[in-house]
Structure 1
Amino acid sequence: MNKIIKCINIKNLAKILVIALLISTCSVVVPVSVSAEDMGTQVDTDVSTSLVSGKSGILMEPSSGTVLYEFNPDERLQIASVTKTMTMLLIFDALESGKISYSDMVSTSEHAASMGGSQVFLEPGEQMSVDDMLKAIAISSGNDAAVAMAEFVAGSEDAFVEMMNKKAAALGCENTHFCNCNGLDEPDDHYSSARDVAKISCALIKHSDVFKYTTTWMDTLRGGSFGLSNTNKLLKSYSGANGLKTGSTEKAKYCLSASAERNGLNLVAVVLGAPSTKERFGSAARLLDYGFANYSVVNGEQIVGEIPNLTVQSGTQDTVPVTLMGNTNYIVKKGNEDKVETEINMDSICTAPIQKDQVVGNVVFKVDGQKIGENNIVSMTEVNKINLWELFFKNMKKYFSI
C-alpha cells in the first residue's frame, strides 16, 4: 500500500479526496410516508339484499381487515359466549409468548367450578391440562373452563377481564367492554358490536393452532369418560367452515362468529341478536356465500416479485436488500385477479446511513386505475455510513482498479 500511495501525484490525491467528500455528504432519497386513511378497495358494501336476520352483522376479510358487508355493525349488543373469542385470544397470546404451555396443569378454583350454563362440570381442585381446557372452551363452550384458564393466565378473573379490555382497546374495538370472561352473566356494561367481534376474531385466527380446536366436531375429556360436541353446526353443513364461536342467552339471543376458507380466501362472518339458532347459522352462511361468490384475495408481494437491491452511496456496503412492509393482501372483485397493476416509486440510489425498516419507496396497487392498496418499501438491513478514510481507500481502490 505504501508503494501505491507514493505513486499518487498531488493532483490525483486531491481529486480522490474531493470525490470522497462529495459522496459522503450527498443525500438522494426522501422517505415516503403512507397515509393511514382508507385507500379504497373494489368492495361495495351497499348490498340491497338483506343477508342478516338479526340485530347486527358483518363480513370481514381477516388479513386486510376489509369489510365486505355490514348491517348495523357498531351497535353495542350482548354477545353471550362469543365473549370467549377474546378469552381464547389471550390464552393463545400467552401460549405464543411462552408464559404457559399446552401441557401445564390447571387447577379448578371454587369460583370456576361454580359457573352454570354450558360447562364441563369441573370440580373444585380438579386439574386439567391447558390443552384439555381449550377443548372444553372451544368445542363445548365451557364457562367453568374459561374461568379456570382466566385465573391461570392472570391470577384472577378480574385481572383477566382487565387484560381483555386492554386488548380490545389495542385492537381498535370502540364499542366493547367486558365484565367477565365467558359471557354467562351479562350486565348492561358487558357488550360488544359485530365489527369489534370481527376484529377480535380476526386477531384470534392469526394463531393458526386455534383451528385444531374450533374444527373438532367431537372429542372427549377425562380419559374418554366425558364427551364433547361442537356447538358450531356450520362445521357439518358449510364447506370450508373452520370456526369459530357460538353464543346465546336470553338477552343476547343467538350469536355467532363464523370463519371459513375457500381457495385461499379466508372470511369471518359475525351475526348478533338472531331470533333463532337456525337464523344465526343461516345468516352466517349467507354472508360467507356472498363473500366467496363475489371476491378474491390477491397478494401484492407475489405480484411485485423480488425487488432489486437498492444501491447505497457512502455506505459500508454497496447495496441493501428491500421488501414490502405490512400486510400485502388486497381484496378484488372476482375476475380481476389478473388485472392488478403496480406503480413502484423508489429511487435507484440511497445514501448511508440506512436503518433497518427505513422507508425507501412505495408500491401502489391499482385495478382499472382505481387504487386498491399501497405498501411502503423498506430496507431489510442497516447500512452504516463509511468514514472518510474508509471511503478514501475504497474510492482509491476503484480508481486504480485494485
Structure 2
Amino acid sequence: MASFVYTNKLVKHVPGIDGLKTGWTSQSGYNLTATMKKDNMRLISVIMGEASPTQRNYDTVKLLKYGFSQYEAVEYQSINYKVDEYKNILLTPQKIKIVTKKGEKPTGLEEQFNFTIDKNGVKAGEQIGELKILKDGKVIYTVPLTVEQDVKKASYFDVLGRTFKSMFFD
C-alpha cells in the first residue's frame, strides 16, 4: 500500500485550514493555495513566489487572518426566499450570503432571475432556473430556483379556462 506525504503542514497545525495545494518551480519559487473555513465563511488564499516553505506558510496564515478579521458573510436572504409568484412560488433552496466588510450591510445589489416551467410539469424542489445577485452590473452570486409545489401538465380544459379568463377578466 502506497503512503501519501501531505506537504501542506498548515492543515495539521492551523484549525480551519483544510487544503489545498503546495508547489515549487525554479521560476515561481514556493507557492501555496490554501482554503480555510471559519464562522460559516470560507476563504481561499493564493501565495506565490516565496523564497521558502516557512515564508509561504507565514504569509498564508497572515493573509487568511486578515481576511477573517476584515470580512464576514452576511445573510442577504433566508432559505426558501420567495423570488416571484407565477402560478407557483419560486424559491431559493439555500441561504444567500454576501461577503462584506465587517459591520457593513450589503448595498447596491440587484436581482435578476430566469426560469422555465416544462410543459410536461415540474416536481416541487426541482430546479427550474436561477437567481443572480449583481453588484455594479457584475454577477457576484448565483443560486438555483425551485418551485414550492408540483406543477402538473395543463389539460386541454385548463388551457381553455385560462384563455377565457384572460379574455374577459384581465
Report the TM-score when normalising by structure 1.
0.30
2:85 to 310, 334, 344: 310
Deviation at 1:266, TM superposition (A): 0.9
Q: What is the rounded CA distance, in whole Å, between the counterparts of 2:11 and 2:118 in structure 1?
A: 55
Q: Which residue in the other structure is 2:33 paired with?
A: 257
User: Structure 2: which 5+ runs fail to align?
Assistant: 165-170
Q: Which residue in the other structure is 2:154 paired with?
A: 385
* Secondary structure in 2 matching 1:335: coil
User: Which structure shows the bigger proportion of residues in helix conformation?
Assistant: 1
Conserved 8 A contact 1:355-1:379: no
Q: What is the rounded CA distance, in whole Å, between the counterparts of 1:344 and 1:250 in structure 2?
A: 46
Number of residue-to-residue matches in the alignment: 152
Q: Which residue in the other structure is 2:102 paired with?
A: 334
Deviation at 1:391, TM superposition (A): 5.0
Aligned positions of 1:3-402 closer than 5 A: 128=1, 136=4, 140=5, 230-302=6-78, 305-307=80-82, 310-312=85-87, 320-324=88-92, 328-336=96-104, 339-340=105-106, 353=119, 357-359=127-129, 364=133, 373=140, 375=142, 378-380=145-147, 382-388=151-157
Deviation at 1:370, TM superposition (A): 10
* Secondary structure in 2 matching 1:292: helix
Conserved 8 A contact 2:77-2:95: no
User: Structure 1: which 5+ runs fail to align?
Assistant: 1-127, 141-229, 313-319, 396-402
* Secondary structure in 2 matching 1:291: helix
Alignment CA distance shift 1:328-1:234 (3 Å): same
Report the TM-score when normalising by structure 2.
0.61
Conserved 8 A contact 1:253-1:275: yes
Question: Could you give the per-residue CA deviations for residues 256-281 of structure 1, whole angstroms, max 9, x where no partner exists?
Answer: 12121111111111222211112111
Question: Could you give the per-residue CA deviations for residues 172-203 of structure 1, whole angstroms, max 9, x where no partner exists?
Answer: xxxxxxxxxxxxxxxxxxxxxxxxxxxxxxxx
Bigger RCO of structures 1 and 2 (CA < 8 A, at least 6 apart): 1
Report the structure number with the largest CA radius of gyration: 1
User: Which structure shows the bigger proportion of residues in strand conformation?
Assistant: 2
